[in-house]
Amino acid sequence: MSVSATMGVMKPLLGKLAALAGEEYKKLKGVKNQACFLEKELSAMNAALETMELMDELDAVAKDWRDQVREMSYDIENCIDDFERQFRAGHAKLGFIKKTARRLKMLGQYHRIADRMEKLKVLALEANDRRIRYNIDERKPNYNDIDPRLSAIYVETSGLVGTDGPREDIVSLLTDTEEKLKVVSIVGFGGLGKTTLAKQVYNEIQWQFDCTTIVTVSQRHNMIKLLHRIQLKLRMDVSSQGCEVEDIIDDLRKYLTNKRSSFEADERKRKASCKHV
């Protein structure tokens, strides 16, 4: 989440720097040159952040670098916002004398902005130097073989406190009389017990359904492997040959459609039998 948050700041910031390096500010060569430099340095950092976003866990060095980049991005964005406010104010429609006085005042403010950007330029150089020195770009995505949510599925739920209310609420949502596809999301920060709560609900209502399964999904999962796991849990025949995602989805849809048709046919027979009795 922290990497995504950093990228959430970085991407719009790169857009602002590109605009600052554009034609509108061509007369302010100092500011424009600083913006061009920062855009180039931050683009390199953004590429490293995109790699880090694929990792489930980051080591201490990567976390520290990410945090430094995030704070620096906030500072650069604040600096740009301040500059743009002053620039717009300096180009407001005023009389000649007032406009001249405003421009003289703005010169001093532009110099202060340029000084701030020069200091930010030094920070950007240091951050990129650390990126290269610690091989941030070479760090590989960490696809954990063991999903950290796996243990939550096997927690002994009898001793848990405070889950009865949420469990009953979700059970009620899933077992109402509406006959249509439904998705119920359990959201919250990591470690709150979302997976354990979901498993409690599953244990309570699975007997009401003809076909059920439960799987855990990491943020960076292998889709084909995940779909194969679902097939195995549903006791479907899984081909050992490689398949495309679309092929596996088609097989799952066909299997579940047939399951539903078979179940509905059995239900009609059962109801007809009850009437005769």
Q: Tell me the percentage of the chain whose pLDDT exceeds 70.
A: 69
| pLDDT tops 80 at residue 257 | yes
Crossing angle between the packed helical segments 164-174 and 194-205, to the nearest 10 degrees? 50
pLDDT tops 70 at residue 142: no
Query: For position 276, what pLDDT does the model report?
Result: 58
Position 162 scores a pLDDT of 59
Contact 19, 88 (CB under 8 A): no
> Is the model more confident about 270 or about 259?
259
Q: What average pLDDT score do residues 52-76 get?
A: 80
Separation CA 181–CA 198 (nearest Å): 18
- pLDDT tens digits, residue range 82-140? 887 877 665 555 444 455 445 545 556 667 777 788 888 888 888 888 888 878 766 65
- DSSP structure class, residue 159: G
Report pLDDT digits (tens) over 178-228: 667 788 888 876 667 788 888 888 888 888 888 888 888 776 677 888 888
Task: Give one DSSP letter per residue of 203-254, joined into a string.
Answer: HHHGGGSSS-------TT--HHHHHHHHHHHTT----SS---HHHHHHHHHH
If you average pLDDT over residues 219-244, what whole number do you get? 78
What pLDDT was estimated at residue 104? 47
Report the chain's terminal Cα–Cα distance, integer Å.
60
Give the C-alpha separation, 69 to 105, whole Å: 33
Least confident interval from 7-21, 79-93, 193-207, 226-240: 79-93
**How many Å is the Cα radius of gyration of the chain?**
29
**Residue 10 to residue 129: CA distance in whole angstroms:** 18
Amino acid 96: pLDDT: 46
